[in-house]
């Protein structure tokens, strides 16, 4: 099933690359190239072959990590992706942690206090998280916390003064700055991370709190909860031990989906905050009609999403013997 889904992803990206009104040959040789140069480049790229042969070559290239060369940077696309992806991962994992720490407790208390004022407030907060455009919230956050109050730094991953000082080891700037012993750069990187991570964390919190609330309400209505209460089990143990314990397994899948969504949904956030990750790289590639970079980034994000779902399924079966 996973292989079929990935093959479908490759087919879609391949067809997009052939349907879009952008000539990949012209993108390489330029619009002033002679017909002879154009034809040689077309043959070298395999575009003279039937579509089914082109698709087989395309699959072989993707499997070996060959996404072509970026027109924008003149580098292999895979090298560009490996360079920018750690920034996106750093942002997504921080936002996911924020979403878990805030969203799951909110969902639990909202379920326990179902119908109360706290429950209504939590649901309204979650509704805003689903409804408000992320780029709009990002611009508001920059205007308020950066321009007006000057509490947090502006766009970018670090101040210009600190760029290029820390040599990339993992690609995650906070870890690399700790390895290099550059604590001032570490603090600056944390300050720059607060706004974009909080914004994505808010959307993650809205999703996780809503799903946690639904799972908990369903569990609190089960007979084993009533039995535990009749036996005199303490209420906190009923909620945090029995009910939440049975919610933990489906929550794993929800957290995995949330993390995957943050990886693919960080495009607008990275664009607003000039965060040098995969989302900003994809945006710049789209604006410059760099289809190799666009399709390569799409495939990587899709593959990660599939991998995260596979990991959650495996963990699901490990934690719950009934699912094996």
DSSP 115-151: TSHHHHHHHHHHHHHHHS-HHHHHHHHIIIIIIIS--
pLDDT tens per residue across all 324 residues of the chain: 677 888 888 888 888 877 776 777 776 676 677 777 778 877 877 777 788 888 888 888 888 888 888 888 888 999 999 999 999 999 999 999 999 999 999 999 999 888 889 989 988 988 888 788 888 888 899 999 998 888 888 888 988 888 888 888 888 889 999 998 999 999 999 999 999 999 999 999 999 999 999 999 988 888 888 888 888 888 888 888 888 888 888 888 888 888 887 876 678 888 889 899 888 898 888 888 788 888 888 888 888 888 887 887 777 777 766 555
User: Quick check: helix, strand or coil at residue 35?
Assistant: helix
- Nearest 5°: phi and psi at 50? -60, 155
* Sequence-ordered list of residues with C-beta below 8 angstroms from that of 224, at least 6 positions apart, any chain: 242
85-130-293 Cα angle (round to 5): 25
CA–CA gap between residue 200 and residue 262 (Å, rounded):
7
pTM value? 0.84
Instruction: Give me the domains of the chain, ranges plus CATH numbers.
Output: 2-63 (no CATH), 80-277 (1.10.3720.10)
CA–CA gap between residue 225 and residue 230 (Å, rounded):
9
């Amino acid at each position: 099933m996973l292989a079929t889904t990935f093959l479908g992803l490759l087919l879609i990206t391949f067809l997009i690359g052939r349907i879009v009104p952008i000539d990949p040959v012209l993108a390489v040789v330029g619009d002033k190239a002679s017909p002879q140069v154009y034809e040689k480049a077309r043959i070298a790229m395999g575009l003279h072959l039937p579509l089914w042969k082109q698709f087989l070559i395309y699959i072989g290239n993707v499997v070996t990590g060959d996404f072509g060369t970026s027109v924008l940077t003149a580098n292999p696309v895979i090298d560009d992706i490996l360079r920018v992806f750690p920034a996106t991962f750093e942002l997504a994992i921080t936002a996911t942690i924020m979403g878990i720490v805030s969203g799951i407790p909110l969902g639990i208390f909202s379920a326990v206090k179902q119908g109360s004022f706290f429950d209504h407030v939590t649901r309204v907060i979650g509704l805003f998280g689903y409804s408000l455009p992320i780029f709009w919230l990002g611009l508001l956050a920059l205007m308020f916390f950066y321009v007006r109050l000057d509490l947090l730094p502006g766009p970018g991953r670090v101040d210009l003064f600190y760029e290029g000082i820390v040599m990339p080891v993992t690609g995650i700037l906070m870890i690399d700055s700790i390895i290099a012993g550059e604590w001032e750069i570490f603090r600056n990187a944390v300050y720059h991370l607060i706004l974009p991570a909080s914004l994505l964390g808010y959307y993650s919190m809205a999703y996780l709190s809503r799903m946690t609330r639904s799972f908990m309400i369903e569990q609190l209505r089960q007979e084993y909860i009533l039995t535990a209460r009749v036996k005199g089990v303490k209420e906190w143990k009923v909620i945090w031990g029995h009910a939440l314990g049975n919610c933990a397994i489906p929550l794993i899948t929800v957290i995995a989906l949330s993390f995957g969504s943050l990886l693919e949904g960080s495009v607008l956030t990275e664009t607003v905050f000039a965060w040098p990750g995969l989302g900003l790289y994809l945006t710049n590639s789209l604006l410059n009609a760099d289809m190799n970079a666009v399709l390569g980034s799409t495939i990587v994000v899709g593959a990660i999403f599939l991998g995260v779902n596979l990991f959650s399924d495996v963990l699901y079966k490990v934690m719950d013997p009934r699912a094996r």
